[in-house]
Every structure is written in structure tokens, then in C-alpha cells.
Amino acid sequence: MSKIKNNVTELIGNTDLLKLESLSTLTGCNIYIKCEFQNPGGSVKDRAALQIVSDAVQRGELKPGMTIVEGTAGNTGIGLALVAKALGFNMLTVMPKGQTPEKERMITLHGAQLKLVDACGFANENHFYHTARRIAEQNSDYWWANQFENLSNYKAHFAHTGPEIWQQTSGKVDVLVSVCGTGGTIAGTSAYLKQQNKDIDVWLVDPEGSGIAHYLQYGEYKAAGGSFTEGIGIMRLVENFKKAKIDHAVTLPDQDLVTISRYVRDNDGLVLGSSSALNVAGAVMAAVQGNTGRNIVTFACDLGERSYSKLYNPEFLLEKGISEQYETLPNLLDRYRKMAEQVVTVAV
């Protein structure tokens, strides 16, 4: 029996590793998900939030009574709000309009102030990233978390997430699959696991509308289409992502998220969020593009209640031209097997 915790932040991390039996049977590989929804804020971003705040306190930048400010699509804002309240700080979350109302409610439920701004390109000074930075610069009692460039994000996963996976698999992990938002999760975890075994195959899975896979292949950010996923994909190089150790990358459409999310729900009893469904789709792709019998690890970043308004909303999907009559898994696997030419192999 685990010891009693004295602060809610002590519940962050040490999440379980769960085998998705249905997909493992279909693909011939063992597909495992790291259950990051077990964190008290409900997502993998709790890890980065705690590390970012703890390191800032240790450096003397963040003092009791100050307000943390961050621009985020949702989950980091929730994680920071939880950590802030638990450790004696205030929280201001700057979020672009158009994210799911479930995430907006979660931020305010955790006692944070929410500032919504118009969604716009990064070059626009009113982008949520620049707005959060500017608020901190203009107020001496505010501190900007800067999750994209702050390497405490990477550190959280190098120091904790990676070692947990290595221990849980007894060092027998062959493939790591992850989406990328800030890059902290894939960078820290891949760097640690590659340090233990350089032959671990790391896959980045990108939604349409993100330019990461194109950057890894051609050295420039370029994208086509768009995605309803939130906080995933990026069109610029940031410090956290620079530390990622990636071997392969693939871009997958939103329709696949519907297929995977319903299949896992109906066969494994797990309701995945959008980024989690994209991760699992990437794990399936990695499985069919290699030998059977491998151990593939990915992340259940959060659960589907935060994606209800989009991923699980028939009206929204219809507006986006996405069918609820989703593809059968055997057909999906056949299609993925034929997509070898669309998989980017990253030059070392």
C-alpha cells in the first residue's frame, strides 16, 4: 500500500502502463499506453506543470502570492492551475477561442482566471503565446511559464516519464510513439530511452495542419489541411523539440482518430481523447510497418470527456466532413501497410 500523500502534486506521475489487448492481437505487436489521465489534473501536462513551477521556485523567480501566466490550448493550463493552487500561487490562463468548452470549464473549476483571445497565426502579436508573454512582462508580480521554450518541460519527462517506462517494461521497449505539441513529452522521454538503448525506434505522429513531419524530412515547416486536435502540432522549432530523438514520422488524418477511438472504446473500455487517439493510431502504424512481437509504448495523454464537443460529437464531425461510419480495423491496417512511402525516415 502506498504512503499517504501530503499535497496533491505528489499524485503526479507514476502512472500505469496498460496493454491494449484488442489492438495487440490485431497487429501482432504489444501496444501499451501510459495512462497519463491518472494524473490529478487528468493529463500528461501535469508533469511539465509541476517541473516548471518547482524549478522556478528553486531559482527564486517565482515567489508566494505571484501569478503564473501561460498561453495554452487547455491541458497545460489545467495542470498549472492545479499546481499553482496546491503550492500557493495564482494562475492566469490565456487560451485561444475555439477550444472545447470542457477544457475552459476545467480551468475555471481549478480556480484559475481564464482569458480568451481570438485564434490567429503565431506572427500576430495577439496570438495567445505573445499575449501571455506580454502580460508577464508588463506586471512584476506575474511569471510566464513559457512551456514551449522552458526546458523544465523536457526535464520532467527525461527525469520521470522515461525512467518509468523503462522500469515498467523491464527495459524491453522497442518502439516509442508520440504526438508533439511543445515537444517536451517526446523529447524528454525519447532522450532518456535512447540513452538506455540507442536502438529504440521513436515515431512522431502528426495531425494534418502541422508541419513537424515535413520539417523532419525537408528542414522547413510546411503543412496542408487542418485538424480538430487541440494543442498538437506546431509550425516552428522550439527549444524542447530540439532535444527530441526521432527516427520516423507520419501524418495521419482526423478520420483515423474516429476509427481508433471507437474501436478502443468498444473493445477495451477506454474513451480516448483526441491526442491519445492520434497516439494510438501512430502506434498501429508503427506496428504494421515492422516486425511482429515488438513492444510499442505510447501515451493516453487524457481521456475523451475533454474531447466530447469535437471527437465524440456527430454534428461537429459532420460539419468537418468526417464520417461516424468509421473504417473497420482490418481495412485501416491494410491501408497503413500501404503507406510506407508516406513514412518519413529521419536522417541521423
pLDDT, tens only, 228-267:
999 899 899 999 999 999 999 999 999 999 999 999 999 9
The arithmetic mean of pLDDT across residues 311-323, rounded, is 94
Please classify residue 55 by burial: count the beta carbons closer than 10 Å to its beta carbon, then call 0-12 exposed, 13-18 middle and 19+ buried.
middle
Beta-strand relationship, 142-144 and 67-71: parallel
Average model confidence (pLDDT) across the chain: 96
208 has pLDDT over 70: yes
81 has pLDDT over 80: yes
What SS3 string covers the chain? CCCCCCCHHHHCCCCCEEECHHHHHHHCCEEEEEEHHHCCCCCCHHHHHHHHHHHHHHHCCCCCCCEEEEECCCHHHHHHHHHHHHHCCEEEEEEECCCCHHHHHHHHHCCCEEEEECCCCCCCCCCHHHHHHHHHHHCCCEEECCCCCCCHHHHHHHHHHHHHHHHHCCCCCCEEEECCCCCHHHHHHHHHHHHHCCCCEEEEEEECCCCHHHHHHHCCCCCCCCCCCCCCCCCCCCHHHHCCCCCEEEEECHHHHHHHHHHHHHHHCCCECHHHHHHHHHHHHHHHCCCCCCEEEEEECCEHHHCCCCCCCHHHHHHCCCCCCCCCHHHHHHHHHCCHHHCEECCC
Q: What percent of the chain has pLDDT over 70?
A: 99
When pLDDT is cut at 50, 70 and 90, the band that residue 347 belongs to is: confident
When pLDDT is cut at 50, 70 and 90, the band that residue 348 belongs to is: low
The arithmetic mean of pLDDT across residues 88-98, rounded, is 95
The arithmetic mean of pLDDT across residues 318-329, rounded, is 90
Q: Report pTM.
A: 0.96
7 has pLDDT over 90: yes
112 has pLDDT over 80: yes
* Complete domains list, the chain, with CATH: 8-39+157-337 (3.40.50.1100), 45-144 (3.40.50.1100)
Q: Cα torsion at 155, 159, 165, 168 (round to 10°)? A: -160
- At 1 the pLDDT is 64
140 has pLDDT over 90: yes
The arithmetic mean of pLDDT across residues 92-117, rounded, is 94
When pLDDT is cut at 50, 70 and 90, the band that residue 324 belongs to is: confident
Residue with cell 510506407: 340
CB 45 within 8 A of CB 78: yes
Q: What is the pLDDT of residues 33-74, one digit of tens each?
A: 999 999 999 999 999 999 999 999 999 999 999 999 999 988
